[in-house]
């Protein structure tokens, strides 16, 4: 659409206009013929009321002729409408083709900017960068190992201290066990109370 | 087509006499101009004589008697008062003299030319017809415009609305013998 818009009115536009004007003329003819048909219908009814059967028949013959005319008009209208639609769709197809062409041009330009030599160069640089990174990783790995060793030694010392503390533990549990026994007895007392409360509603 | 519902003042006899008090007359004039526009919009009357009678090609459903005559209360406006009301509409930009020298009939603009052009633009957008060649006839009488305000629009009014769009660069005009026969919205 942008293409045809920038150019203004094209020869195709003028051709479509002519076809549409012809279609409009047929539409007007259709309207006129419909009016004539309706009029002949009314005339026929009036003549029948007046008892003029032969003249009524004549009016109806005119009506049938007009109806055959309008069928021709409909046919011509259909033909024109189809032709108009076909042309308009062809214009759309033309725009689509133009779009594809432009797309191909752009793609070609982009491909030109990406030559194979450039790609190889970039890949080589990438490989070098990867190798450099691996060396860095190795160096960091060795240092980390040293750091880990010192950490392990510290953990050993900590464990030794903890083992000494555990020797003191046997004296403490006797007091704790006693506290736990008291808690258990309290729980039993608590359990008795709800049983008593359950009995009273049964009595009720 | 349903009948137009007149405002209650239309059955008030003094409404059909130009009032001597200036401020009352201004109010009366405003009510008459509003009535004319609403009446013409209701019956889709595009042209009106200064006597208040519609000027229509096919008078199906449109009353043929004068808007300025109320037979129920047996009242009518004097011709010079009718002229003043129509002239007021022209001054407000809601009507145009069809013949400026004779000043006997007007093009009634219940929408302004600018408003008509906006309605046309919106219709073309909503029906996806930008870049499509359209004839004036199909805009006026086509099936696609049956539910639009401008269906059956007067050709002069339509042409002016399209010319306004042309100045704004929204439309390309297609002419034959200096007459606009088609347009292309861009």
B-contacting residues in A 8-27 (Cβ below 8 Å) = 8-9, 13-14, 16-17, 20-21, 24, 27
Among B117, B92, B104, which Cα is nearest to B171's?
B117
The whole-number pLDDT of residue A99 equals: 93
pLDDT in tens, B27-38: 999 889 999 999
pLDDT in tens, A124-155: 888 889 878 888 887 777 655 667 767 877 77
Number of domain units in chain A? 2
Q: Minimum mean pLDDT among A50-59, B32-41, B82-91: which range?
A: A50-59
pLDDT at B75 over 50: yes
CATH H-level superfamily of B8-108:
"Winged helix" DNA-binding domain. Chain C. Domain 1 (1.10.10.570)
Per-domain boundaries in chain B: 8-108, 113-185
Do A101 and A156 belong together in one domain? no
Helix and strand tally (H, E) in chain B?
5, 8
Best of A1, A12, A17 to substitute, by most chain B Cβ atoms within 10 angstroms, is A17
Do A14 and A105 belong together in one domain? yes
pLDDT in tens, A64-94: 788 898 888 889 888 988 888 888 888 888 8
- Nearest chain A Cα to B134, which residue? A17
Mean pLDDT of A38-60: 85
pLDDT in tens, B116-147: 999 998 999 898 888 888 999 989 888 888 88
Chain A partners of B186 at a C-beta cutoff of 8 Å? 5
Q: How confident is the model at residue B59 (pLDDT cuts 50, 70, 90)?
A: low
The whole-number pLDDT of residue B154 equals: 92
Q: Which residues form the domain of A46?
A: 10-112
Do A105 and A149 belong together in one domain? no
Greater pLDDT, A125 or B1: A125
CATH no. for B113-185: 1.10.10.10
Greater pLDDT, A38 or A73: A73
Q: Is residue A191 part of a domain?
A: no
- Nearest chain A Cα to B139, which residue? A24
- In angstroms, the CA B126 to CA B123 distance is 5
Work out the minimum CA distance from A8 to partner chain B, whole angstroms: 7
Please indicate whether, in this complex, the C-beta atoms of A24 and B130 are within 8 angstroms of each other: no
A84 touches chain B (CB under 8 A): no
Chain A partners of B132 at a C-beta cutoff of 8 Å? 88
HEC per residue, A30-77:
HHHHHHHHHHHHHHHHHHHHCCCHHHHHHHHHHHHHHHHHHHHHHHHH
Greater pLDDT, A8 or B95: B95
């Amino acid at each position: 659409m942008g293409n045809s818009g920038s150019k203004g009115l094209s020869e195709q536009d003028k051709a479509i206009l002519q076809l549409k004007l012809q279609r409009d003329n047929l539409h007007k003819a259709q309207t006129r013929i419909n009016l004539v048909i309706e009029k002949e219908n009314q005339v026929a009814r009036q003549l029948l009321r007046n008892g003029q059967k032969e003249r009524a028949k004549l009016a109806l013959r005119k009506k049938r002729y007009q109806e055959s005319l309008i069928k021709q008009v409909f046919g011509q209208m259909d033909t024109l409408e189809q032709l108009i639609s076909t042309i308009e769709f062809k214009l759309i197809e033309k725009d689509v083709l133009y779009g594809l062409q432009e797309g191909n041009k752009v793609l070609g330009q982009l491909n030109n900017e990406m030559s194979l030599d450039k790609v190889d160069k970039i890949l080589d640089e990438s490989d070098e960068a990867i190798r450099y990174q691996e060396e860095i990783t190795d160096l960091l790995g060795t240092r980390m190992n040293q750091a880990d060793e010192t950490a392990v030694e510290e953990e050993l010392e900590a464990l030794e201290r903890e083992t000494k503390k555990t020797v003191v533990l046997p004296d403490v549990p006797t007091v704790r066990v006693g506290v736990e026994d008291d808690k258990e007895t309290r729980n039993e007392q608590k359990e008795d109370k709800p049983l008593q409360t359950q009995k009273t509603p049964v009595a009720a | 087509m349903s009948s137009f519902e007149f405002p209650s003042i239309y059955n008030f006899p003094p409404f059909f006499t130009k009032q001597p008090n200036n401020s009352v007359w201004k109010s009366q004039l405003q009510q008459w101009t509003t009535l004319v526009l609403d009446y013409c919009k209701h019956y889709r009357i595009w042209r009106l004589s200064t006597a208040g009678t519609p000027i229509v090609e096919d008078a199906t459903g449109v009353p043929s008697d004068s808007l300025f005559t109320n037979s129920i209360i047996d009242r009518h406006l004097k011709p010079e008062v009718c002229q003043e009301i129509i002239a007021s509409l022209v001054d407000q930009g809601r009507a145009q003299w069809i013949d400026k020298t004779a000043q006997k009939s007007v093009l009634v603009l219940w929408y302004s030319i600018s408003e008509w052009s906006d309605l046309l633009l919106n219709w073309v957008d909503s029906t996806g017809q930008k870049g499509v060649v359209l004839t004036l006839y199909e805009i006026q009488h086509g099936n696609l415009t049956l539910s639009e305000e401008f269906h059956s629009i007067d050709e002069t009014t339509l042409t002016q609305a399209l010319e306004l769009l042309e100045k704004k660069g929204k439309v390309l005009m297609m002419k034959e013998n200096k007459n606009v026969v088609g347009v292309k919205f861009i």
